[in-house]
Amino acid sequence: MEKRLPPVIIDTDPGIDDAASIFWVLASEKFDVKALTIANGNIGLDGCVTNALRILEVAGRTDVPVYRGAYRPILKGPMDASWVHGKDGLGDAGLPMPTAKETPGYGPAEMARIVRESPEPVTILALAPLTNVALAILLDPEMKKNVKEILFMGGAVNVIGNDTPVASFNAAVDPEATYIVYNSGIPVVQLGLDICDQFTETDADFERLRDEGGPIGGYLYTMTEDWRKRSSMREPSRWYKSRQDGIGLNDVATTAYLINPDWFTCEDVACDIQLGGIGAGQTVVDFRGWWKKEPNVRFAYEVDSAAAVRQWMDDIIRYDHRQ
């Protein structure tokens, strides 16, 4: 009998690092990807939907449905990080426009439906602001019964933020959604900047993908070309993570946990979200137990990033050469 693969929903705002992660999940061939649900984040919602379809088409997986989600965070206005990801959100690298269409349906409702109907608990790989995930939780009180875990690319505990001094982009864009998810009772693994900052994908890694891979490897090289050239990201700083020999694809670091959690060292902690003021979106951990609260989050703080990056490249190169 054919073995059933573990079900996964990817909530995403593609985004170069989202693309690199979606390619990895598909290339690993270890998961049943039930859907991509799309959030506003790196660029506007329309662009993110188009990019999800482009990514699936390059990967030859137009069978995976793409559902449009919320067009803006719960309280804040729509966000945009095209200064990192390029005007089209995928590095303006000429990825072909999609021929496939998005699937009718509303992202959070479809997420809740897929979870409800699944014969086994579903993992949510959350690579964007948590708006869609929070709305799904609010839509369906049954949701928490059948989610295995939410793997979140967000949070900054012992490192500096990348959107505000204390918050990661995905948490700062929608602090209210982050609060809802972290306090939902669903197991959350925070795979935020504490581990993302330990990752570097070097120029040599991208050359290897281009030279040994196929279409996906080639696009990963061209998509990141402009980002890799930006000298400001390469100036050494003692205060925040800068990289002299490459870039850090944050969503790939988070996806590494889905591929192999054994690469990570984690601690279960009580964690809450700052909702207003200059600290909005900060993930605050009570390491000393002052709050007398049970742990609600598995906090990842160390990772064997070299092993993860090697596997990311190996999987993509192998998939690029599949028959």
Q: How far is CA 281 from CA 13, 92, 159, 297, in A?
A: 18, 30, 14, 15
Site for ligand RIB in 205-264 (CB under 6 A): 250-251
Q: How far is the CB of 226 from ligand RIB (least distance, A)?
A: 15
Q: Which does 169 bind (CB under 5 to 8 A by kind): Ca ion, ligand RIB, none?
A: ligand RIB
Please, which of residues 124-143 interact with Ca ion by CB under 5 A? 127-128
The least distance separating ligand RIB from the CB of residue 311, rounded to whole angstroms, comes to: 20
CA 235 to chain centroid: 26
Q: What single string gives the DSSP state of each residue in 64-115?
A: S-EEE--SS-SSSPP---HHHH-TTSSTT--PPPPSS-PPSSBHHHHHHHHH
Asked if 73 touches Ca ion (CB under 5 A), the answer is no
Tokens 């072909």 -> residue? 96
According to the binding rule CB under 6 A, does residue 128 interact with ligand RIB?
Answer: yes
SS3 (DSSP) at 196: helix
Scanning residues 38 to 57, which ones bind ligand RIB (CB under 6 A)?
Answer: 41-42
Interface with ligand RIB (CB under 6 A), residue total: 15
Which of 74, 270 has the CB closer to ligand RIB?
74
Q: Which tokens belong to 203?
A: 């120029």
Tell the smallest beta-carbon distance from residue 3 to Ca ion (Å). 30
Contacting ligand RIB within 141-170 (CB under 6 A) = 153, 162, 168-170
CB 26, CB 53: distance < 8 Å:
no
CB of 297 to ligand RIB, least distance (A): 17
Smallest gap from Cβ 217 to ligand RIB, in A, equals: 20
Residue number with CB closer to ligand RIB (41 or 91): 41
The answer to the question of residue 136 lying near ligand RIB (CB under 6 A) is: no
| Residue number with CB closer to ligand RIB (151 or 316) | 151
Using the rule CB under 6 A, is 194 a contact of ligand RIB?
no
State which residue, 42 or 282, has the beta carbon closest to ligand RIB: 42
Q: What distances in angstroms separate CA 78 from CA 72, 228, 258, 296, 322, one per listed residue?
A: 5, 26, 28, 28, 39
Give, rounded to a whole angstrom, the gap between the first and last alpha carbons of the chain.
Answer: 23
**Using CA atoms, how far apart are residues 274 and 178, in angstroms rounded to an integer?**
9
* Separation CA 127–CA 15 (nearest Å): 10
Return the closest-CA partner of residue 102 out of 54, 142, 134.
54
Which residues of this protein are in contact with Ca ion, per CB under 5 A?
13, 15, 18, 127-128, 251
